Structure 1
Amino acid sequence: MSTFSAPSTVSRPENAPGDAELHEEGYAAVLRLRGQWTLAHHARLERCIAALRGRVDAMAAGGALEVDPGSLEALDTAGARLLCGLLGAAHIARLLEDASPLPRERRALLRAVAEAMQGSAEATAAEGGYALGDVLAHIGQTMGVFWRHLTGLTGFIGLILATVLRVAVQPRRWRMTALVANLERTGLDAVPIIALLTFLVGAVVAFLGATVLASFGASIFTVDLVAYSFLREFGVLLAAIIVAGRTASSFTAQIGSMRANEEIDAIRVLGLDPVELLVLPRVYALLIALPILTFVAMVSGIIGGMLVSATTLDISPVLFLSRIEDNVGLIHFWVGMAKAPVFAFLIAVIGCLEGFRVQGSAQSVGEHTTSAVVQSIFVVIVVDAIAALFCMEMGW
């Protein structure tokens, strides 16, 4: 808390407590501020102000009040707050003028306290609001955030495509070591978890199909259910969701940590392109890895359904595969596989973009990592739904 002191022009004891006196002369009045308006005398000053407030307000409303701070010995933030509350904005503005008898440092302190109190009052008034307005404001803010994310994503996609075209004609700038390293992390290391999860999901789908279809005497159609679901939807969707949670978060954390440590700035200082150096190898690796993982997910899911069919429905593996060959067209396999590169590109772009948005703290890294996972899964599901509607309309 800052305190400013000056010699008193009135004969009073040194370090005397602050007070105020109102001298009325007809329709005019002078408010004399005396002593030390500091935190040490806060309680006494509050009592003094409470006794004067009604008369001061009446004189101030009539425009007949003058303030004389000549005997003010000391002023700190606590005293300035009391003074602002007593005098109001108009008289505080007069004290802040260059012609005011207050020293410059006290005017600066009084101005800072007045602005802080005004901002606090405005914030309190804004917090009041009303229910419908708050809801509409929240909707508007959410739409604004969504629009900024969408424009940022499309702009980053354009930057990546421009970099791809520029680098494609210069084979010496291809970073094969980074590509292979990212391919191992995003593809090979993800095979066990994707195979296990899709195997279990395939078993669950076959069990549910057998439970429902058995009452209609159509247990054999469990084979069709498993094959259609994993070739068209579940294989690529489950693989993409697992990759979104596993790889998009990894991309964001890696690039975000580099940004927090100012390594991205160092790369630019060296004359290198961060998009070419950090983004392209990750995008290429995921474009290669996700179709392979999708194929693994399809095979694992079908094997899980085959195992349940063999144990609960007495459908042998030979009959199961024969049924798939006769009744399930190859188009369903290609529909599922065609989605994989699209999902891979979107997941990689979102993961890298959120990494570049990190502001430089560990908290920011965590927030953007979470955002990357949520956005990736959301985009994957939305694009999959759009693709399903498109294929249905096309008859594929």
Structure 2
Amino acid sequence: MWTAETAGDMEPKVAGLIAEGGSPQSVLLDFSRVQRLDTLGGTLVRGIEMAFGARGIPVERTGLSKAAATIYGEISEGLSEAAPVPAKQKPAVIQALDKVGEQMVEAGRDVVALVSFFGEVVAAAGSLFTGVGRFRLAAVVTQLDRVAFRAVPIMALITFLIGGIIAQQGIFFFRDFGADTYVVDLVSILTLREIGVLIVSIMVAGRTGSAFTAEIGSMKMREEIDALKVMGLNPVEVLVLPRLIALVLGLPLLTFIGNISAIMGGAMVAQFYGQIPLDIFFTRMQEEVSQRHIWVGLFKAPFMALIIGLVACIEGMRVKGSAESLGQQTTASVVKAIFLVIVLDGLFAILFASLGY
């Protein structure tokens, strides 16, 4: 009998059989003399079968009564689901390479999705010119107010501080060489070409991009986007285009204000820390800094605005039906937008350097 009453005596014998069974060509489990079989006894028998099966030895069964076959079948199915064979652990290096590969594949999918979404935006914008779509001026003005005008104080403050820090560090090091006035060139050119537009774009990605993702994501969670489709409206035309247009118009404006604020911060620090009067600062700036530096920075702004808007909106469209998903996509929106802004700035720097501009 293979029951709970005899399990205590049978368990050591089963363990010994498994340990000393060796590697026979096959194993036959004969149940013809088993008078009673319950779940505990069947589990012991199943352990013998699994142990030899794991060694690659075929195991056959014979002599099972109908009742015993039913019990043993349920035990076999339950143990197979509850205790799957563990996968072989990969070396740490292989796991790291797998993770890198997965991230690269995911990045490729993001690029494809971004390009596809950009195509949808272009198609929606084209519908405005063909008369199929409708230009929503009120939505654009509302978004422009939120994106640009309400952001002026914080952008001006941040760029003012950045300009002051650049001037202080420049004076601190130039002073050893008696070249204090070169801080004017440093602050002006660096701000107009790179720092102004880059800092403003990063701030917009964190402030406005996250807001776009959260807004569209909340609408996705409440099925408002599906409702727009049912009403025959294009969500890209209604939700995405006004935000993108506002960003493309507002970011150059914020960049221009940020440039002025950063230069003013640098000029004030130069006066009080470096004893460079304001009239000398701006006179040298006018003599040494050409207008092309202004246009280089402003030229980058619309492209960075487009990248920020596309990433923010597509991440909002990816939100599922949970608050956790909304938080994840908002975080991903800010991180991806900042990364792409920096990459784009580097590409523009290479382009203008190769053109000698």
Band the TM-score falls in, shorter-chain normalisation: 0.7 to 0.9
The equivalent residue for 1:306 is: 267
CA distance in 2, matches of 1:324, 1:171: 50
Q: Does 1:54 align with 2:54?
A: no
State the match for 1:38 in structure 2.
Answer: none
Is residue 2:102 matched to residue 1:141?
yes
Amino acid at match of 2:220: R
TM-score (norm 1): 0.79
Alpha-carbon shift at residue 195 of structure 1 (Å): 0.3
Q: Which residue in 2 is equivalent to 1:248?
A: 209
**Structure 1 CA distance for aligned equivalents of residues 67 and 164 of structure 2:** 85
Residue 111 of structure 1, aligned match among 71, 77, 95: 77
Aligned to 1:3: none
Q: Does the 8 A contact of 1:81 with 1:114 survive in 2?
A: no
2:86 matched to which residue of 1?
A: 122
Q: Do the aligned residues in 2 keep the contact of 1:94 with 1:100 (CA within 8 Å)?
A: no
1:374 maps to 335
- For the residue of structure 2 that corresponds to 1:173, the secondary structure is coil
Other structure's SS at 1:64 match: strand
Write out aligned runs for 1:12-31 (5 A): 20=2
- Indicate the residue corresponding to 2:177 in structure 1: 216
Matched, 1:85 2:51: no
Distance change >3 Å, CA 206–CA 82, structure 1 → 2:
farther
How far did 1:49 drift?
A: 3.2
- Looking at structure 2, the residues matched to 203 and 222 of structure 1 have their Cα atoms a distance apart, in angstroms, of 11
Deviations 1:71-110 (A, max 9, x none): 445x5xx988766434315889979x9x99644x984674
Question: Residue 365 and residue 344 in structure 1: after superposition, are their counterparts in 2 closer, same or farther (change >3 A)?
Answer: same
Match of 1:170 in 2: 131
User: 1:187-237 CA deviation, whole Å, 9 max, x = no partner?
Assistant: 112111110010011011111111111222211111111110111011100
Task: Tell me what 1:362 maps to.
Answer: 323
Q: Deviations over 1:119-164 (max 9, x none)?
A: xx234x2xx2113322221221121111111111111111111111
SS in 2 for 1:122: coil
Q: Per chain length, whose mean CA-contact separation is higher, i.e. which structure has more relative contact order (CA < 8 Å, sep 6+)?
A: 2
Alignment: residue pair count? 347
Greater per-residue strand proportion: 1
Tell me: CA distance 1:47–1:233, structure 2 relative to 1, closer, same or farther (3 Å).
farther
CA contact under 8 A between 1:80 and 1:113: conserved in structure 2? no
Q: Provide, for residues 315-337 of structure 1, a one-character-per-residue CA deviation record: whole Å limited to 9, x for no partner.
A: 22222222221111100000000
CA RMSD of aligned residues (A): 2.9
Letter in 1 for 2:346: A
Counterpart for residue 65 of structure 1: 29
| Equivalent residue, structure 2, for 1:266 | 227
8 Å CA contact 1:84, 1:92 repeated in 2: no
TM-score (structure 2 length as normaliser): 0.87
Partner Cα separation in structure 2 for residue 273 and residue 83 of structure 1: 64
The residue identity in structure 2 corresponding to 1:117 is: A
CA-to-aligned-CA distance 1:48-68 (integer Å, 9 cap, x gap): 434323336739953221346
Confirm or deny: 8 A CA contact 1:237 1:380 kept in the other structure: yes
**Worse overlay, 292-301 or 181-190:** 181-190
Query: What is the identity percentage for the equivalent residue pairs of Structure 1 and Structure 2?
Result: 37
